[in-house]
Amino acid sequence: MYRIEKSRKHFWRNMFTRMALVLVTVAVIVWSLPRNESQRFRYDVGKPWMYGSFIAKFDFPIYKTDETIKAQEDSLLQTYQPYYNYDKTVEKKQVNKFLSDFHDGIPGLPHQYIDIIAKQLHRLYQTGIMDTPEYNEIYRDSTSLVRVVIGNNAQTMPLDEIYSTLSAYEQIFLDDVVAQQRPLLQRCNLNNYIEPNLIYDKERSLTERNDLLSSIPPASGMVMSGQKVIDRGDIVDEYTYRVLNSFEREIKRRSATQNEITSTIIGQIILVTFMVTLFTIYLALFRRDYFNKPRSIAMLYSLITFFPVIVAIMMRHNFMSVYIVPFAMVPMFVRVFMDSRTAFISHVTMLLICTIAVRYQYEFIIIQIVAGLIAIYSLRELTRRAQVFKTGILVAMGSALVYLALQMIQDNDFTIMDHDMYYHFVVNGVLLLLAYPLMYIVEKMFGFVSSVTLFELSNTNRGLLRNLSEIAPGTFQHSITVGNLAAEIANKIGANSLLVRTGALYHDIGKMADPVFFTENQAGVNPHDHLDYKESARIIINHVTEGVKMAERENLPTIIRDFIVTHHGTGMTKFFYIKYKNEHPDEEIDPKPFEYPGPNPFTREQAILMIADGVEAASRSIAEYTEENIATLVNKIIDSDVVDGYFKDCPITFRDIALAKVVLIERLKAIYHTRISYPEAKK
């Protein structure tokens, strides 16, 4: 009863987690989608009008483009005159300050220079002085005239007749009399008596500027009610595009309400929820092994969410073309870490969600589905970097070819076709090369192991495998043989041969702790002859726990560590158990000291390794390698494992087991074949 209740709680907890994941996915995607309430049609310059005849139902203005308005604004602003207030008090203050500071005269110069400098300052202030940074800024804006307000009067003055604080200082020394004494006068710091007396009037200037810009009409014509704008199949030109865009703006101005925005959001929620739910149902019905693994569904939903968000951001901000986005990464990642059918379903789900934001859904869906199929077909198993490069080239070529076909179907005039799109496909193919480094990030983030990683781990010239070959050479050879046998079985029954081979190479690394206690590493001396049977069993069993510790220290993936703990399952060290039992016939023996910690295999690959390991180890004890003896041994070992229930927790079938027997018998016959004796030559 307790177990049933626990199972029920576990079921509901999993269901709640997956429902929460679906809701979060929908919420993130819908939040990022653009809210184009006014968008009634999909159209672009140079493309055919895909709808029926468009006839205006009401009068509306033809709005100018942003570029046109900007050009007109720039033209008007050339006549714009900012306002500056003339401050009379500045001159009086600064001239009096100068006279006060030098009332005894300028050291080294006649007293007449006081009057000369004072007159120069008076002339400069009468003309007008502006702050240097401010002067430079309006000069850079090509402003040639300013309006100077003196009392109640405003007069227009050319900018080049007004001084900046810097040019005013230099103007003092342009006088011939003053220039002769420049070295002495520079010590007086005359720039301290030069201060702007033309003060920018921000409020009046902005009002003048806004009045000037508001005189530009936003429209340049009218469309009358009943007027036909465009017919089906006509090519949208610049003028028609502006008319259609004006219609959209007018619709938005007239009828855009909160209810319309709410309706758009509700529609997006319904569509995204429906697509994500269909994808979830697919996983629950056909890929329950993925559906029950948090890391698998986390990766799938992350990919389905990431690309629609990217597309929504690009469309919202009109940032480049969505065709440069490498959507084919989704089926590539899912194909490498999972399977091709799930890769295709994930790709289609993601694309259909993206179509909510893009403009030409029909064209977008066809091109990207073809790109995804090419990625799936060309990347059946990632084993080399060159495969990603090849996939990128094929995806770019396939996308370009499909786009060309669509263009030829719509219009056979090559001169009006959009040739810039092909550059986008090239960029897409280049960005697709990022899949290789990103794959490493996906592996670490979601706990997957790719084929590339398995190839790296199976390198026998580095790490634990190199140590194994040096410390326990007999175990190393045993592991290689087991790996080859297991890979052959996996190929025969459709399991992951690379994974099981890599797991086989590491399954006995724990024997490096005490290599001489294992027969394959012994050279005539058996240390077990001097040990108690329980102690011998403990040392043998200990190679599993030691192997796990070594694997954890080397950060081996969990999927490889699982091969170490399951290759003996919960089996027994039968040799020592039977020996002990025979010597203690009257004793009730506790089997625990002779049992491996387990668990039993829970994947087909782990079951294959257990079979291959047991058969290979037992085959070394055959007295005579005949076909009958080999077949008897293989059947005995595997049937014993089946009877003992080691395969109850894994999805291996009786057919798989039967094929495994055939493979092992044939391979062992080839390994232990009898060589003929060569005759000796007679003397």
Q: Where are the domains of the chain?
A: 2-36+260-443, 74-214, 451-671
Written as six digits, the tokens of 294 are: 């948090």
**Residues contacting 626, CB < 8 A, separation 6+:** none
Q: Are 599 and 561 in contact (CB under 8 A)?
A: no
At residue 562 the predicted structure's pLDDT band, cuts being 50, 70 and 90, is: very high
- Give tens-digit pLDDT for 89-129: 888 888 888 888 888 777 778 878 888 888 888 888 888 88
Residue 38 is predicted with a pLDDT of: 45
Give the residues across from 219 on adjacent strands.
Answer: 63
Rounded CA-CA distance 99/126 in Å is 18
Handedness of CA 512, 517, 520, 525 (dihedral sign): positive
Token pair 């590493």 is at which residue? 521
Q: Which amino acid is at 623?
A: A
**Which of 505, 474, 623 has the alpha carbon at shortest distance from 567?**
505
The more confident residue out of 675 and 664 is: 664
- Give tens-digit pLDDT for 133-159: 888 888 777 677 888 888 888 888 888
Written as six digits, the tokens of 376 are: 């799936």
Residue 188 has pLDDT above 60, yes or no: yes
Residue 560 is predicted with a pLDDT of: 93
Rounded CA-CA distance 241/129 in Å is 51
Residue 346 has pLDDT above 70, yes or no: yes
At residue 1 the predicted structure's pLDDT band, cuts being 50, 70 and 90, is: very low
Written as six digits, the tokens of 312 are: 């929504």
Mean pLDDT lowest for which of 51-55, 171-175, 258-262, 263-267?
258-262
Residue 550 has pLDDT above 80, yes or no: yes
Rounded CA-CA distance 517/513 in Å is 10
Alpha carbon of residue 664 to chain centroid: 44
| DSSP of 230-247 | E-TT-B--HHHHHHHHHH
- Give tens-digit pLDDT for 393-440: 999 999 999 988 888 876 655 555 567 788 889 999 999 998 888 888
DSSP 444: H
Rounded CA-CA distance 271/281 in Å is 15
Written as six digits, the tokens of 68 are: 């046109």
The more confident residue out of 368 and 590 is: 368
Element (DSSP H or E) covering residue 276: helix 258-286
DSSP 174: T
**Residues contacting 435, CB < 8 A, separation 6+:** 326, 329, 332, 333, 388, 391
If one looks up domain 451-671 in CATH, what number appears?
Answer: 1.10.3210
DSSP 653: -
**Residues contacting 159, CB < 8 A, separation 6+:** 135, 138, 139, 143, 144, 145, 146
Residue 234 is predicted with a pLDDT of: 81
What are the phi and psi torsion angles at 514 (to 5°)?
-140, 70
Element (DSSP H or E) covering residue 158: strand 153-158
In Å, how far are 80, 484, 504 from 478, measured between CA atoms? 90, 10, 9
Residue 505 has pLDDT above 90, yes or no: yes
Written as six digits, the tokens of 519 are: 């027969």
**Residues contacting 627, CB < 8 A, separation 6+:** 665, 669
Residue 7 is predicted with a pLDDT of: 54
3-state helix, strand, coil in the chain (%, to 5): 65, 5, 30
Q: For the beta carbon of residue 34, count every other beta carbon within 10 angstroms.
A: 17
pTM of the complete model: 0.64
Rounded CA-CA distance 293/121 in Å is 85
The helix/strand/coil state of 329 is helix
Rounded CA-CA distance 551/563 in Å is 11
The more confident residue out of 490 and 436 is: 490
- Give tens-digit pLDDT for 518-538: 888 877 788 887 888 888 889
| DSSP of 81-122 | --EEEE-HHHHHHHHHHHHHHTTT--TTS-THHHHHHHHHHH
Roughly what angle, to the nearest 10 degrees, separates helices 294-316 and 258-286?
A: 150
Rounded CA-CA distance 90/93 in Å is 5
Element (DSSP H or E) covering residue 154: strand 153-158
Token pair 């006839």 is at which residue? 55
**Which of 274, 279, 323 has the alpha carbon at shortest distance from 302?**
279
Residue 373 is predicted with a pLDDT of: 94
Residue 6 is predicted with a pLDDT of: 47
Residue 41 has pLDDT above 70, yes or no: no
**Residues contacting 6, CB < 8 A, separation 6+:** none
Buried/exposed 276-306: b ≥16 CB within 10 Å, e otherwise: beebbebbeeebeebbeeeebbebbbbbbbe
Number of H helices, E strands in the chain: 29, 10
